[in-house]
């Protein structure tokens, strides 16, 4: 089963995974709002939101940012995906999307860019870790047969 969560969105409203029961949910974890890779990924999800929604998928992006930063991100990039704040990284950790990363030969702890597909019953259908920001949404659409 996918770990249950309730987190604030960009407007401070609580959003729960359980509210999406009966629909498939793509939950994606990204390191930081307003950065180039995360912007590309969020824009790709927004550009494909109608296609995904038509196939029965809701999309939720989760990062350690505060709701205020998520609101700026949404406004600046005209994002339509639901963005949730996980500053304590509890949900990110529960999904295995926080851990050791390597960048330029240095090892550190951080958010691992990940995408989890949750089915209508709340079970993890597939989990993808260390995904690339560019081209990832197209790959998911192809892999899901949409």
d(CA 84, CA 12): 9
- Catalytic residue check, 43: no
| CA–CA dist 135, 110 (Å, integer) | 22
- Which of the following is catalytic: 15, 38, 49, 140? 38
Half-sphere exposure (CA, 13 Å, Cβ side) for 111?
24
For the chain, how are helix, strand and coil distributed in percent, rounded to 5? 30, 30, 35
Q: HSE (CB half, 13 Å, CA atoms) of 29?
A: 26
Catalytic positions: 38
């Amino acid at each position: 089963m996918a770990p249950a969560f309730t987190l604030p969105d960009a407007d401070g409203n609580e959003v729960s995974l359980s509210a999406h029961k009966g629909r498939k949910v793509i939950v994606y974890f990204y390191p930081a709002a307003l950065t180039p890779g995360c912007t590309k990924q969020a824009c790709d999800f927004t550009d494909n939101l109608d296609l995904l929604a038509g196939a029965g998928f809701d999309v939720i992006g989760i990062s350690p940012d505060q709701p205020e930063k998520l609101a700026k991100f949404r406004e600046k990039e005209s994002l339509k995906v639901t963005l949730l704040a996980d500053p304590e990284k509890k949900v990110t950790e529960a999904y295995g999307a926080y851990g050791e990363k390597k960048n330029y030969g240095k090892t550190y702890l951080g958010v691992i860019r990940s995408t989890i597909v949750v089915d209508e019953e709340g079970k993890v259908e597939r989990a993808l870790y260390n995904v690339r920001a560019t081209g990832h949404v197209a790959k998911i659409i192809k892999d899901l047969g949409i």
